[in-house]
Amino acid sequence: MSRHSNYDKFPYIAVSDTSADCVLGWPEIGRHLAGGIPSGRFVVGVDVYPGAFEAEIQKALAEGLRPAKVLLVADLLKPAREVDRMLAGVLGDDPVFGLMNNIGLEDFFDFARLQQARQEVAEWKDGLLLVLGTGATLVAPQPDLLIYADMARWEIQLRQRRNQVANLGTDNFQDPASRKYKRAFFVDWRAADRHKRTLLEKIDFFLDTNSNTPKLVKASVVRAALKQAVTRPFRLVPYFDPGPWGGHWMEEVCDLPHDVPNHAWCFDCVPEENSLLLGFGEVRIELPGSDLTFSHPREFLGDTIYSRFGAEFPIRFDFLDTMGGGNLSLQVHPRTEYIRRLFGMHYTQDESYYMLDAGPDGSVYLGLKTGVDRDAMIRELRAAQNGGPAFDAEKYVNKFPARKHDHFLIPAGTIHCSGRNSMVLEISATPYIFTFKLWDWGRLGLNGLPRPIHLDHGIANIAWERDTPWVEKSLINRVQPVAEGPGWREERTGLHELEFIETRRRWFTSVTPYHTRGTVNVLNLVEGREATVESPTGKFAPFVVHYAETFVVPAAVGDYTIRPSGEAEGTTCATVQAFVRDEKPPSA
């Protein structure tokens, strides 16, 4: 372990100091459930999030419960070829992008088989009937006992890469992980999340099979924990991934193993992507962070965000590490009208780069040079993509030096990328994967294949008027003092009229006051070894954060304070805080 790192890779919310509420291991889970099942007619529904190992769950519960019959939901689905035809218009031929849609779990079922199975459940007379699989409650709408096998999004992705799971309604185990991810992103996870939201108040037990040791916990306990979570600051579980341009800063600062070539990304904030760990003594229960968003959207997000975005978390913090690595791909994000019209998303990925660190040659590519020849640039991009000469990015794109604590704004439509030897805290809106790569410096992905380039999409979205003077005036280090008090000062560092996320930086040597303004806050400790978040009225227990850790403060918290603590006492600390502005942004 690095002696310099105090970064917590497995943060959790302490629910109780005992594991009495948790049942560990299949034998104990079977005995626990069997002990509550009376004789006579009894229906157990086990609804499963796509990506869980259904065969393992079936085998374990069949051995533990000894049901009179097991009804497998997968047997009621349409043939894979029909599912593929149903999804063709949504998924298309692009290797990355599809269309957002309203396809539901019920659309995967053969209607006649589903009706027959429902009739069988309704007419079940005696003994234990086990209904198991994704969409079990569509077959048995009112089971006597409902178990939900939830899954962490990151664990599903790892299983896809290991060819351990297929997509819903098909057997594409051997497909490339990128193809399985795309299908899950646009179809499986959307349908499953909509279905799960209808069940959250009905579930009797949550089943956690993310690790080798399955865990069962009463849903009432989980619901109480989620209700408590929105009254206090917390962290989601970060995950790290290598990339073709990845660096090595996070390996030291975040204490990561050297078991991959590099670490390019860290995702450390988004409930739709990250997990939430609930602590029961020494036991941890892992749930998707989205369960919190779905369960308490108003308390978590605030009324303004909920009315505007629904139960969706709109702010994303992640790390982009090129320290000792290479440039990111030269890219652009879609304008609002474009992403809405072509992909069905109602907002786009405005973002900014906050520099956590940078080498002497650290840089950011941002905006176009003044007077560029648009046609020549497009011609050279196409030639490079078709195997011709490498694209000379610096001929057309501004390259600015980047230093620690610099902040670069990147409204959608602005051509950009981080250069090598830069450590970026990326603060963005959350439309996930909609990035149009224009040039990838002629390199291959970690799989040895070229990464997808989307020139036509990218060219259609470049804001050609955003040239050198405009970028220098509008997008770089727009620091504006806001307020100050004893031992602290607050300043805006990222605010552009085209972006709905406002960022504030606080420098502080003592207690500094914050307020959520009735909207969820996302923060990162960008300077200082340690700080403590506290409630002025004692509403929540003191919460300790460390350097580079991202944490979330739910809207319902209201007032809170942050002060240097531990090794940071007597030093200057700083946070970057992001929140959604009250006013709606203009169309871009």
Q: Whole-angstrom Cα distance, residue 105 to residue 85?
A: 15
* Stretch 238-266: mean pLDDT: 96
Residue 450 per-residue DSSP state: B
pLDDT in tens, 282-303: 999 999 999 999 999 999 999 9
* Across 13-38, average pLDDT: 96
Q: Are residues 204 and 244 in the same domain?
A: no
Query: Per-residue confidence at 583, pLDDT binned at 50, 70, 90?
Result: low
Q: 129-165 pLDDT, tens per residue? A: 999 999 999 999 999 999 999 999 999 999 999 999 9
Residue 359 in domain: yes
Q: Are 45 and 128 contacting, i.e. CB atoms less than 8 angstroms apart? A: no
* Same domain assignment for residues 325 and 360: yes
CA nearest neighbour of 20 among 286, 281, 285? 281
Give which of 26, 32, 126, 113 is closest to 71, Cα–Cα.
Answer: 113
d(CA 324, CA 246): 8
Q: Are 142 and 203 in contact (CB under 8 A)?
A: no
Do residue 195 and residue 276 come from a single domain?
no
The beta-strand segments (E) located in 209-254 are 215-218, 239-241
Residue 50 DSSP label? B
Question: Which regions of 289-390 does DSSP assign to beta strands (E)?
Answer: 315-321, 330-332, 351-358, 363-368
| The 521-527 sheet, strands edge to edge | 480-485, 488-494, 501-508, 573-580, 521-527, 550-553
Q: What is the mean pLDDT of residues 11-19?
A: 95
Mean pLDDT of the chain: 95
Q: What is the pLDDT of residues 175-222, one digit of tens each?
A: 999 999 999 999 999 999 999 999 999 999 999 999 999 999 999 999
Element (H, E) at 227: helix 219-229
Question: What pLDDT does 192 receive?
Answer: 98
Q: Identify whether 422 is part of a domain.
A: yes
Q: Tell if the pTM clears 0.85, that is, is over it.
A: yes
Residues 301 and 176 in one domain: no
> Which residues 6+ apart lie within 8 Å of 294 measured at CB?
193, 196, 197, 200, 311
Residues 103 and 170 in one domain: yes
Asked whether the predicted pLDDT for residue 348 surpasses 90, the reply is: no
Percent of the chain with pLDDT over 70: 98
Amino acid 123 reads E
Q: What angle do CA 214, 162, 446 make, to 5 degrees?
A: 135
End of a domain among 459, 474, 489?
A: 474
357 lies in the same domain as 464: yes
pLDDT at 588 over 50: no
Domain closes at, from 474, 501, 531? 474
Confidence of residue 231 (pLDDT cuts 50, 70, 90): very high
- The pLDDT score that the predictor gives to residue 2 is 43
**Average pLDDT of span 303-315:** 93
The answer as to whether 536 is a domain residue is: no
Summarize pLDDT for 55-101 with one digit per residue, the tens: 999 999 999 999 999 999 999 999 999 999 999 999 999 999 999 99
Q: What are residue 523's DSSP bridge partners?
A: 551, 577
pLDDT of 97: 94
pLDDT computed for residue 586 by the predictor: 38
Please indicate, yes or no, if residue 582 is contained in any of the structural domains.
no
Same domain? 65 vs 206: yes
Could you tell me if 383 and 272 lie in one domain? yes
* 142 falls within a domain: yes
* CATH code (residue 459): 2.60.120.10
- Determine contact, residues 442/436, Cβ cutoff 8 Å: no
Find the domain containing 93 and state its range.
26-212
In this prediction, residue 419 has a pLDDT band, given cuts at 50, 70 and 90, of very high
> Looking at the structure, do residues 178 and 283 belong to the same domain, yes or no?
no
195 three-state secondary structure? helix
Q: pLDDT tens across 368-415, in order? A: 999 999 999 999 999 999 999 999 999 999 999 999 999 999 999 999
CATH code at position 73: 3.40.50.300
- Counted domains in the chain: 2
pLDDT reading at 544 higher than 60: yes
Q: Would you state the pLDDT for residue 449?
A: 78
Per-residue pLDDT, 451: 86
Same domain, 178 and 263: no
Position 565 in a domain: no
Same domain flag for 37 and 117: yes
User: Do 270 and 340 belong to one domain?
Assistant: yes
Residue 253 domain-assigned? yes
Average pLDDT over residues 444-472: 92
Answer yes or no: is 578 within a domain.
no
Residue that finishes a domain, picked among 474, 501, 536? 474
Model pLDDT, residue 431:
66
Task: List strands edge to edge, sheet with 530-534.
Answer: 512-515, 559-564, 530-534, 543-546
Structure tokens at 122: 């309704």
